[in-house]
Amino acid sequence: MPQSYAAAERAGHSVDALLRVHAKCLDGHKDAADKRIDDALTA
């Protein structure tokens, strides 16, 4: 599964929403973005 699909699924968004809204957070910052997603999902 491409990273954009996996990230969108984890964030509960479509790939379109991920690219429009969250791409700036993910570009080059995958570990930090993954932590923010994990933190939000476990809050």
Which residues touch 15 (CB under 8 Å, ≥6 apart)? 4, 5, 8
Residue 30 lies in domain = 3-42
- The per-residue pLDDT for 23 is 65
Model confidence pLDDT, tens digit, residues 3-40? 778 878 888 888 888 777 766 665 667 788 788 889 99
Number of domains the chain is built from: 1
Q: How many CA atoms lie within 13 A of 1 on its CB side?
A: 9
- The per-residue pLDDT for 39 is 92
- The per-residue pLDDT for 24 is 67
- The per-residue pLDDT for 16 is 86
Nearest Cα neighbor of 6 from 22, 42, 39, 24 is: 22
Nearest Cα neighbor of 40 from 22, 14, 19 is: 22
- The per-residue pLDDT for 7 is 79
